[in-house]
Amino acid sequence: MTFVRVGGVPHHVEVTGSGPVCVLSAGLGLSWFDWDRVVPLLAPSRTVVRFDRPGLGLSGHARVAPTARGEAERIRAVLDAVGLGGRRVTVAGHSLAGFHAEAFARLYPERTAGLVLVDSSVEEHPRVRLPRAPRVACTRACATVLCAAGVPRAVGPLLRRLLAPHPQAWVYGTSRVWQAALMEYATYGDVAIELSALRSEFPLADLPVTVLAAHAGGSRRWLTRQHHLATSLAAPFHVAEPSGHLVMRDRPADVAEAILTTGPR
């Protein structure tokens, strides 16, 4: 475990293993420990980097609202800060972080060895209903009220243990995690719109990409959308089944295989 300062904010980073580098970035409001079951499968042959975005996990308070470019830059800066800036990396993004990982691959192709989207967010026609500035201001105000009322401490760890138990669930009792998660939710549409623009401006060229979708039975509409994403990226498409949205917890071997077969041999 280490902490590096990026944009004035302390970022919690863990680097494990040796070999070609892969970066693991978890979805909206999630933490470094959500990759715990995947890391041992990668570490024998990969240098695994996982980090917490500002406000989440053990990182310091977020100072600005998220953007696609900003999160791509964050991945680059974290790699530089831990001494891995000179190596091409396989970047894996789960859920919302799929937007961040793809933005990194498009903006920094010279530093990208492969892209793995793990049940990534998909927005075919992204849009927002309200302007960004008032949305961000309202979200900050709501988060302040909730935190002042003690809601995170009262229900945060309990909710996390009910949804996906982990010994580190206590981090969800902190106000900074709730504030960061609410802001990621409030700016989700903005990040989707920004990524759509980046897709038009920055092609992926011949970069290897893999799309891994989760399916637990029932409706297959989500798989159809994930398959369309894979087709648009000219990427192999795989299904982790049965699995909920937290594929790295439910099917860690599937996630590890996708990363190992997409990045350098």
pLDDT score for 263? 75
Q: For 24-36, what is the mean pLDDT?
A: 97
Distance CA 62, CA 74 (A): 12
CATH assignment of 2-127+190-261? 3.40.50.1820
Token output for 53: 């975005």
pLDDT score for 218? 86
- Model pTM score: 0.96
Distance of CA 131 to the CA centre of its chain: 24
Q: For 236-247, what is the mean pLDDT?
A: 97
| pLDDT single digits (tens) 207-223 | 999 999 999 988 899 99
| pLDDT single digits (tens) 113-166 | 999 999 999 999 999 999 999 999 999 999 999 999 999 999 999 999 999 999
Token output for 213: 């979708």
